[in-house]
Amino acid sequence: MLLDFENGRHLAIGLLPELILTVWAMLLVLHAAWRHKDPGAQRETGWLALVGVVLAAGATIWLWRSGAHIDGIATSVALDGFRWALTLIILVGVGLTTVLAIGYLDREGIAVPEYHAMVLFAAVGMLFMVSGADLLVIFLGLETMSVSIYVLAGINRRSAFSAEAALKYVLIGAFASAFLLYGIALLYGATGTTKIELLGVQSAHVLPGLTLLFRAGLALLFVGFAFKVAAVPFHMWAPDVYDGAPTPVTALMAATVKTAAFGAFARILLQGLDADQAHWAGVIWWLAAVTMIVGNLLALAQRSLKRMLAYSSVAHAGYLLAALIPGSPAGAGAFLYYLLFYTLATVGAFAVLVARGRGGERDVVTDDLAGLAESDPALAAIMAICMLSLLGFPGTAGFIGKWYILATATGGGVTTIAVIMVLTSLVSAGYYMPVIMAMYMKPRLHAQSHADTVLPGVMRGVLIAAMLGVIAFGIWPGNALTMARSASRVFMSQNITSVATPTPYPPGHP
């Protein structure tokens, strides 16, 4: 299906998932206002929000399958497999956290039906971030998402920690946005465009080397994104914000917000700046290395499970950055595969935390899970699979993801980062394995210690399905790998202007 964005109807088709979610979110706001007195309103809004997510996902799949594309002129919105894949990953994350939130808000007595509308608005922002082929669209998406997440982080009005988290997130977020915007402005000054594709052409051909303006713009852009994905040394806000926010929001931030920011970043690097890979590879190399090392070491030092997961998500940002260093399309494929299963495992782990938490997830330490395997084998198995997948253990999809990144790095000639990655993964065994150890090998603290550890049936069913997926794609990753590779193919054809040294690309790729 060939779309022409001059035509309004075609534009609407190209933006169908975003439009569906926007309209749906607005309707949900109205619905929430209408039913505000009703205590069941929150649940109802939640399920309705889920319907919206499913519709948007359906539209995405339809667009992907119908092969929607545009003529070779650089537009503001991309129509490619990379966008569809990321959109679906984000929608999976949003859907899972919504199911989790329905039960959570009910239990914690946070009767705010608007929560689900805000999540949908955040999702719209995320979708725009991954669909933007123009820096301004990406920025708009980022702001839409961020403002919604600020609200969500502070949605528990009775909790001082929640308020603290929201305030910190607003301040740091505003900072990061300012960096990003300034970077975009400087890049526009240097190249005369904000369109990602043209940026690539300009930087490769028109400019004789990189001008100071361009470099400065790039630096600011990198800082902005490093803040958003919580890469060290721009990660300081993450643990406090993740810790204070209501746990479903934390899951949303750790999984999907990161996916969206990374998606936009990857598109800019691989589509717009691929010719300058030699210039930015060193920066990303250091960012990735430091993030992996510091993230993992700090996670190792945590006692609270929630903070441990927060720092572990910082570490995962490092792994994802490593996939970008070679600047090859294979990196994009690795990236997609990793993000999907990272999302599943992260949300799964937070869901178990919610089940154990009951009003104080912040205080749950690893040993609070002791003996869970005996009182609730299914829940313990879910958590164990999540931990193994996050650790990247063979047999889980997390391993294939990590292996794909390692292959990208080794094939791209950055073996050192691959070594750092495996060594830091080893450190992560030091904090993922004790969780399994507590659940399976330690006795319960007292007979009733898991009496109130409950995960609602729906969430349990969804998670069990997700974990079966994690295992199945860990053993037969073939189809998913093929999809990830085909989704990243978009970054291949752009190379007409590329002057970079040819990156060896793994086999089988057409």
Partner 1 sequence: MSHFLTGINFDHWILSALLLIPLAGAVLLMVLPARLARSVALVTTLVELVISLGMWVQFDPSVRHMAFEYQRAWIGVYGITFHVGADGISLMMVLLTTVLMPLAVLGSWVGITTRERGFYGMLLVLTTGMIGVFVALDLFLFYMFWEVMLIPMYFIIGIWGGKARLYATLKFFIYTMVGSLLMLVAILYLYFSAGRLGGGYSFDFTFILSHLPRLPLGTQMWLFGAFALAFAIKVPIFPFHTWLPDAHTEAPTAGSVILAGILLKMGTYGFIRFAIPLFPAVAFHPWVSKLVIALAVIGIVYGALVALVQPDFKRLVAYSSVSHLGFVMLGLWALTVQGTQGALLVMINHGISTGALFLLIGMLYERRHSRLIADFGGIAAVMPAFAALLTFVSLSSVGLPGTNGFIGEFLVLLGSFQTHPAAAAIATSAVIFAAAYLLWALKRILYGPLTSDENRHLTDLTGREYAILAPLVALILWLGFYPQPVLRRTEPSVKAYLNWVNYQRALPLPTVVERPAAENDGGGR
Euclidean distance between CA atoms 69 and 281, whole angstroms: 30
User: According to CB under 8 A, which one of 413, 465, 472, 493 is a site residue for partner 1?
Assistant: 413
Residue with Cβ nearer partner 1 (410 or 449):
410
Q: Does 501 sit near partner 1 (CB under 8 A)?
A: yes
Give Dmax (Cα) for the chain: 72
- CA end-to-end distance (rounded Å), the chain: 22
Contact 470, 462 (CB under 8 A): no
Contact 93, 347 (CB under 8 A): yes
CB burial class (10 A; 0-12, 13-18, 19+) of residue 161? middle
Stretch that binds partner 1, among 20-28, 208-216, 304-312, 402-410 (CB under 8 A): 402-410
Using CB under 8 A as the binding criterion, the count of chain residues that bind partner 1 stands at 51
| Cβ 378 to partner 1 shortest distance, Å | 13
Residues 116, 121, 126, CA angle at the centre, nearest 5°? 120
| Cβ 491 to partner 1 shortest distance, Å | 16
How is residue 173 written in tokens? 């977020």
Run of H or E residues at 29: helix 16-34
| Cβ 452 to partner 1 shortest distance, Å | 24
| Cβ 500 to partner 1 shortest distance, Å | 9
Residue 2 DSSP class: E
String of contacts with partner 1 for each residue 253-292, x by CB under 8 A: ----------------------------xx--xx--x---
| Cβ 477 to partner 1 shortest distance, Å | 6
Q: Does 441 sit near partner 1 (CB under 8 A)?
A: yes
Q: Does 442 sit near partner 1 (CB under 8 A)?
A: yes
Residue with Cβ nearer partner 1 (160 or 479):
479
Kindly identify the residues of this chain, within the stretch 305-364, that bind partner 1 according to CB under 8 A: 325-326
User: According to CB under 8 A, which one of 290, 297, 395, 444 is a site residue for partner 1?
Assistant: 395
Q: Does 433 sit near partner 1 (CB under 8 A)?
A: yes
User: According to CB under 8 A, which one of 417, 435, 462, 470 is a site residue for partner 1?
Assistant: 417
Q: Does 415 sit near partner 1 (CB under 8 A)?
A: yes
Contact 149, 252 (CB under 8 A): yes
Euclidean distance between CA atoms 471 and 467, whole angstroms: 6
Euclidean distance between CA atoms 61 and 456, whole angstroms: 29
| Cβ 444 to partner 1 shortest distance, Å | 14
| Cβ 66 to partner 1 shortest distance, Å | 24
Stretch that binds partner 1, among 108-116, 134-142, 171-179, 418-426 (CB under 8 A): 418-426
Euclidean distance between CA atoms 12 and 5, whole angstroms: 9
Taking phi over 0 as left and psi of -120 to 50 as alpha, with beta for the rest, 419 belongs to alpha
Residue with Cβ nearer partner 1 (8 or 209):
209
Q: Does 429 sit near partner 1 (CB under 8 A)?
A: yes
Strands (E), 461-508: none
How is residue 171 written in tokens? 């301040």
User: According to CB under 8 A, which one of 81, 295, 412, 456 is a site residue for partner 1?
Assistant: 412
Taking phi over 0 as left and psi of -120 to 50 as alpha, with beta for the rest, 382 belongs to alpha
User: According to CB under 8 A, which one of 34, 38, 206, 482 is a site residue for partner 1?
Assistant: 482
Euclidean distance between CA atoms 313 and 349, whole angstroms: 12
Give the CA count within 13 Å in the CB-facing half-sphere of 412: 27
| Cβ 411 to partner 1 shortest distance, Å | 5
Q: Does 407 sit near partner 1 (CB under 8 A)?
A: yes
Q: Does 445 sit near partner 1 (CB under 8 A)?
A: no
Residue with Cβ nearer partner 1 (325 or 372):
325
Contact 440, 373 (CB under 8 A): yes
Provide φ and ψ at 332, rounded to 5°: -65, -40
SS3 state at 303: coil
CB burial class (10 A; 0-12, 13-18, 19+) of residue 72? exposed
Residue with Cβ nearer partner 1 (29 or 407):
407
| Cβ 324 to partner 1 shortest distance, Å | 11
Residue with Cβ nearer partner 1 (85 or 414):
414
Kindly identify the residues of this chain, within the stretch 198-237, that bind partner 1 according to CB under 8 A: none
Q: Does 419 sit near partner 1 (CB under 8 A)?
A: yes
- Sign of the CA dihedral running 90, 485, 292, 183: negative
Stretch that binds partner 1, among 188-196, 249-257, 416-424, 444-452 (CB under 8 A): 416-424
Strands (E), 6-111: 69-70
Please report, as ranges, the residues that interact with partner 1 according to CB under 8 A.
281-282, 285-286, 289, 325-326, 388, 393-395, 399, 403, 406-407, 410-419, 422-423, 425-426, 429-430, 433-434, 437, 440-442, 476-478, 481-482, 485, 501-504, 506-509
